[in-house]
Amino acid sequence: MTAPRHIVEIDGLVCQVRGRTMLEIDRLSIAGGERIAIVGPNGAGKSTLLRTLSGFMLPARGAARVLGRPIGTRSRSRDLRRLRSEVGHVMQGLHLVQRLSAIENVLIGALGRLAGWRSWTRCYGARDVADAESALRDVGMLAKADERADRLSGGERQKVAIARMLMQRPKLILADEPTASLDPLAAAEICGLLAAAAQGATLITVVHNPSLLPMLADRVLGLKRGRVAFDLPLAELDDQRLSSLYRPDAQSVLPVLAGRTDQPTEPSR
């Protein structure tokens, strides 16, 4: 039996934004089917890492290979677009087109596969519409398929975003703080949906709330100041490691994590 192909391989990656180094990872490998959580204080480079993996950000130095496709300093936008159509990136915050209905937003997930005038006039084929409806059913939003996106609640919008991601049938799912600004019940629901969607695919989630980790991950990556602080299986993670990650050094003023059983206080942005 051949070894599982690595979904993500990072080699000497350095990402900079406006001259500041946001991310510096020497070596990282993620195999297919793994479920990984990324934790760390704000500004640690978690979102930067996800954006690099989905081809939104070109590295300043080094290279990465995602789903067998190379990402380097000179990658072309056409190749990055093809990569993005295979990577399901659920972003944090409002990211639905407000004026379109839920089902139209879900159908946008198919755009990576379609081309031509049909995708400009939002005139989708019957097969795509059926897929969209089944995706909405999977997340429990079929009843509100024709509601305009700006009339849905935060949790409902997040579900529609996940349905849109399901349309892509991605092999790699990146979820950037999918439960931010959701109440605990909705947060648990969303995590359950993500875990279900990740069957047979690789899931990388950025989370702040350690109590959600068991639902989403087998392996935890801790980032601090753009570098990997630790890379452990979930079972080996303990309070001390986590709180040392969030503990302020001389320069930063982040509050200390009280412990895994309490909700961590979110530092104000």
Partner 1 sequence: MTMAHAGRWRIDRIPGRLRFLALVAAYLALVAMCLATLAAEGELSMGRNPWTNLVKSVGEFSRPSFFDLWFGERKLEYRSDDGTLLRVENRREVEAKFIASLGEATWTTIRIATLGSLLGALIALPLGMLAARNLAAPRPLAWAAKGVLDVTRAIHTLVFGLVLVGIVGLGPTAGILAIALHSMGTYGKFYAESIETLDMNAVEAVRAVGASPLQVFFNAVWPSVLPQFVSSHLYVWEYNIRDSTILGLIGAGGLGLLIAEATALFQWGRLATILLVVIVLVSVFDAMSRRIRQALL
Binding site for partner 1 (CB under 8 A): 54, 56, 81-89, 91, 93-100, 108-112, 114-115, 119-122, 161, 164, 167-168
Q: By C-beta, is 121 or 251 nearer to partner 1?
A: 121
Q: By C-beta, is 85 or 202 nearer to partner 1?
A: 85
d(CA 78, CA 72): 13
d(CA 243, CA 257): 5
Q: By C-beta, is 6 or 89 nearer to partner 1?
A: 89
Least gap, CB of 182 to partner 1 (angstroms): 17
Least gap, CB of 135 to partner 1 (angstroms): 13
Q: By C-beta, is 106 or 228 nearer to partner 1?
A: 106
Long-range contacts of 91-97 (CB under 8 A, 24+ apart): 91/161, 91/176, 92/47, 92/176, 92/177, 92/178, 92/180, 93/180, 93/181, 94/157, 95/161, 96/149, 96/152, 96/157, 96/160, 96/161, 96/164, 97/149
Q: By C-beta, is 113 or 137 nearer to partner 1?
A: 113
Least gap, CB of 100 to partner 1 (angstroms): 6
Least gap, CB of 187 to partner 1 (angstroms): 20
Burial of residue 188 (number of CB atoms within 10 Å: 0-12, 13-18, 19+): middle
Least gap, CB of 221 to partner 1 (angstroms): 21
